């Protein structure tokens, strides 16, 4: 009987004991993450945190791969796709007149263009501009159909927000299949979205037959663009270029599980970014892999410093760690929302997937409110890059000071993911729409015709992508419109050790162009250069190990992979990891975006004033060894002196160095 009573008591108490045990386990995990006591000291060693909070990927790469990395690549466009610019500026005066605005204001619009809109209240500006865009776009749509009809081709002509009209000739009967990566075989055709090589110098023949146009989509595209341009009815007519993130995709091993799709209850487009109390100064974060993030250290050769560091630690200690009132849009591959260092972060707001082509998107749908990274692999033999997750982690999407993984540049910030890069790159049309959405200039439109409005318009836009072409007119127009809204656009210079002027958006106006420096403080061997570059920031070098620790001098950030994963405690291989060393101007640009976010949170500045503050307070001017590189690792570079093994290339006004901004905090204007 007594035994039976104790059995009953045990049955009653078992659930309570189990709950207590779960609570204790949760308490332990919270202490590991720093959930309830963020000020607690960091773990004594990497071994004190779970494997998933410390395992990483990245090995020093062999030098014989450098040549292939820097080899020229063809300029690709989406076959049969053309972007046409509506004459919105010309339509503004007519719209103002139709709305009954004063005749002297209408005359001002005719002479000054959109600049004259500044005289109106903001709600009236939006009314005039939106109506002008709608009417000009419809006129452009009709005119484009007429031009194409006279050429003898047909296709889909659609209007996008912002005065952009897209033309798709594939419906005209021209077949793209014969040109889809023909040199790569049938497997590549099945695994890659269609693309064709583009040469700006190629011209449409004076005499071209209907049969030629139907058989050759490249010819049809070229002829259609030239006819549209010659009609002089549009602001521009240009191919739908395919942008590249500059990521060197390793061979695919066991494919990592796809990130979880956004579930009900996660951030939705109608929800604003979470608010928080005013941030305060931080210090050295307790993230276990922070010790490997040389790029955040103060610049120098002493203990705790790095010759290539950007001084973030100094700013965290002297000023503050950011504010979620500052919004940074990341136009990239999206963000892996299931990443353990991001899923627990409050820094990621609702974003958008701007990839209209489901084949390129890889997610079986078009434009929608799901900015989760659905993958961007290019061909069956490569793996997804999760490039946007790595970039966003450096800016601040990763939770910092939580005893998990890595630190972000801004501990508190609102990161808005805008997915514009998918399988084998991203299309210009989607990038242009992404810029306008990120800046709050135009909504996204899904397949059902519903609007997706950005509730968190960006203060800063980061674009770690390149197109080897002159700055497309559609892209420049979108950047200019964003700049007029006080949005700073930060872009990567490119990774081909070539002239930056050859690559968009780095050759566009109204952008901050970022080249890459390495852990030794020199110019990274792959970084593009030239007068277009504004400054250098840490981009890393996975082909070097300057401190001899057996790990590459890459930039360490958030990225899920199953390739080359290991435990830094014992060097044993692991099945999966969530952190990777990467290199590129793609990695340099987010350091500048994070620095701008910190300065904005500390000073309250935005727009051009914030940009001026960056160069006045956080750029280490030209000095000894600036933009120097080993001649042996640099193509066609000039030695700094006859016979010298050291070369230098023009690369901006100096290095990003937040230590300087930290020194001036006391005298900074609020």
**633 three-state secondary structure:** helix
Rounded CA gap, 132 and 130, in Å?
5
Rounded CA gap, 597 and 591, in Å?
10
- Of 247, 205, 210, 209, give the one whose Cα is nearest residue 227: 205
Rounded CA gap, 516 and 583, in Å?
9
Rounded CA gap, 399 and 571, in Å?
25
Rounded CA gap, 190 and 424, in Å?
13
Rounded CA gap, 518 and 537, in Å?
8
- Of 404, 419, 249, 405, give the one whose Cα is nearest residue 335: 419
- Answer yes or no: are the C-beta atoms of 318 and 281 closer than 8 Å: yes
HSE of 629, CA atoms in CB hemisphere, 13 A: 26
- Indicate if 332 belongs to the active site: yes
Q: What backbone torsions phi and psi does residue 330 show, to the nearest 5 degrees?
A: -115, 105
- Of 248, 310, 246, 295, give the one whose Cα is nearest residue 498: 246
Whole-angstrom CA distances from 208 to 145, 163, 456 are 19, 31, 49
- Answer yes or no: are the C-beta atoms of 223 and 406 closer than 8 Å: no
Rounded CA gap, 292 and 344, in Å?
22
- Indicate if 622 belongs to the active site: no
Q: What backbone torsions phi and psi does residue 391 show, to the nearest 5 degrees?
A: -60, -50
Selecting among 586, 593, 634, 651, the annotated active-site residue is: 586
Rounded CA gap, 392 and 329, in Å?
9
Whole-angstrom CA distances from 307 to 423, 462, 629, 666 are 36, 25, 14, 26
List of residues 6+ apart from 93 with CB closer than 8 A: 106, 107, 109, 110
Selecting among 216, 244, 287, 332, the annotated active-site residue is: 332
Rounded CA gap, 413 and 326, in Å?
6
HSE of 570, CA atoms in CB hemisphere, 13 A: 6
- Of 42, 164, 47, 157, give the one whose Cα is nearest residue 473: 164
- Indicate if 387 belongs to the active site: yes
Q: What angle do CA 217, 221, 222 make, to 5 degrees?
A: 120
- Answer yes or no: are the C-beta atoms of 321 and 409 closer than 8 Å: no
Selecting among 387, 430, 517, 657, the annotated active-site residue is: 387
- Answer yes or no: are the C-beta atoms of 140 and 234 closer than 8 Å: yes
Bridge pairing between strands 488-492 and 460-463: parallel
Tell me how crowded residue 183 is: count the other CB atoms within 10 A of its CB. 6
Helix 607-617 to helix 585-603 angle, to the nearest 10 degrees? Answer: 110
Active-site positions?
Answer: 332, 387, 586
């Amino acid at each position: 009987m007594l035994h039976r009573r104790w059995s009953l008591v045990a049955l009653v108490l078992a659930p309570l004991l189990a709950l207590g045990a779960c609570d204790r386990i949760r308490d332990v995990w919270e202490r590991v993450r720093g959930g309830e006591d963020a000020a607690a000291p960091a773990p004594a060693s990497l071994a004190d945190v779970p494997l998933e909070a410390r395992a990483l990927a990245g090995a020093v790469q062999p030098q014989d791969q450098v040549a292939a990395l820097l080899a020229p690549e063809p300029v690709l466009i989406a076959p049969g796709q053309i972007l046409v610019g509506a004459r919105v500026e010309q339509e503004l005066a007519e719209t103002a007149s139709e709305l009954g605005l004063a005749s002297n204001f209408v005359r001002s619009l005719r002479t000054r263009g959109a600049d004259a809109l500044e005289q109106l209240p903001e709600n009236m500006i939006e009314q005039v501009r939106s109506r002008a865009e709608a009417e000009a776009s419809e006129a452009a749509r009709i005119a484009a159909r007429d031009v194409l009809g006279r050429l003898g081709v047909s296709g889909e002509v659609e209007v996008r927000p912002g005065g952009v009209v897209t033309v798709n000739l594939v419906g005209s009967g021209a077949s793209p299949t014969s040109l889809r990566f023909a040199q790569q075989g049938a497997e590549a055709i099945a695994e890659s979205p269609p693309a064709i090589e583009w040469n700006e110098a190629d011209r449409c023949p004076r005499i071209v037959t209907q049969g030629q146009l139907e058989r050759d989509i490249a010819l049809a595209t070229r002829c259609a663009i030239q006819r549209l341009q010659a009609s002089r009815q549009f602001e521009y007519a240009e191919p739908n270029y395919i942008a590249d993130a500059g990521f060197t995709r390793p061979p695919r091993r066991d494919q990592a599980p796809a990130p979880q799709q956004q579930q009900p209850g996660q951030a939705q487009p109608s929800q604003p970014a979470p608010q928080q109390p005013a941030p305060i100064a931080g210090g050295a974060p307790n993230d276990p892999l922070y010790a490997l993030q040389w790029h955040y250290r103060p610049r120098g050769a002493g203990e705790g410093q790095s010759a290539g560091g950007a001084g973030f630690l100094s700013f965290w200690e002297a000023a503050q760690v950011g504010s979620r009132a500052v919004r940074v849009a990341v136009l990239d591959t999206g963000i892996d929302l299931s990443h353990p260092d991001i899923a627990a972060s409050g820094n990621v707001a609702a974003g958008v997937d701007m990839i209209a082509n489901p084949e390129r998107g890889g997610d079986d749908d078009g434009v929608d409110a799901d900015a989760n990274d659905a993958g961007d692999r290019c061909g069956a033999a490569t793996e997804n890059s999760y490039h946007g997750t790595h970039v966003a982690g450096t800016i601040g999407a990763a939770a910092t000071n939580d005893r998990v993984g890595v630190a972000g540049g801004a501990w508190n910030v609102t990161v808005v993911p805008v997915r514009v890069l998918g399988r084998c790159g991203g299309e210009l049309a989607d990038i242009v729409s992404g810029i306008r959405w990120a800046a709050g200039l135009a909504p996204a439109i899904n397949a059902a015709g519903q609007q997706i409005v950005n509730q968190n318009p960006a203060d800063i836009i980061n674009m770690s992508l390149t197109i080897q072409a002159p700055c497309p007119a559609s892209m420049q127009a979108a950047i200019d419109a964003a700049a007029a809204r006080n949005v700073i656009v930060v872009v990567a210079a490119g990774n081909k050790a070539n002239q930056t002027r050859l690559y968009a958006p780095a050759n566009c106006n109204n952008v901050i162009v970022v080249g890459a420096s390495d852990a030794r403080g020199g110019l990274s061997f792959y970084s593009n250069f030239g007068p277009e570059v504004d400054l250098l920031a840490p981009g890393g070098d996975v082909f070097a190990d300057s401190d001899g620790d057996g790990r590459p001098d890459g930039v360490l950030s958030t990225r899920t992979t199953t390739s080359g994963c290991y435990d830094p405690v014992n060097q044993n291989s692991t099945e999966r990891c969530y952190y990777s060393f990467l290199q590129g101007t793609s990695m340099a640009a987010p350091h500048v975006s994070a620095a701008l976010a910190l300065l904005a949170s500390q000073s309250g500045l935005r727009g051009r004033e914030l940009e001026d503050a960056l160069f006045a307070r956080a750029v280490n001017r030209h000095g000894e060894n600036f933009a120097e590189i080993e001649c042996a690792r640099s193509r066609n570079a000039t030695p700094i002196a006859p016979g010298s093994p050291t070369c230098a290339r023009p690369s901006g006004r100096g290095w990003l160095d937040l230590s300087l901004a930290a020194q001036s905090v006391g005298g900074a204007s609020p």
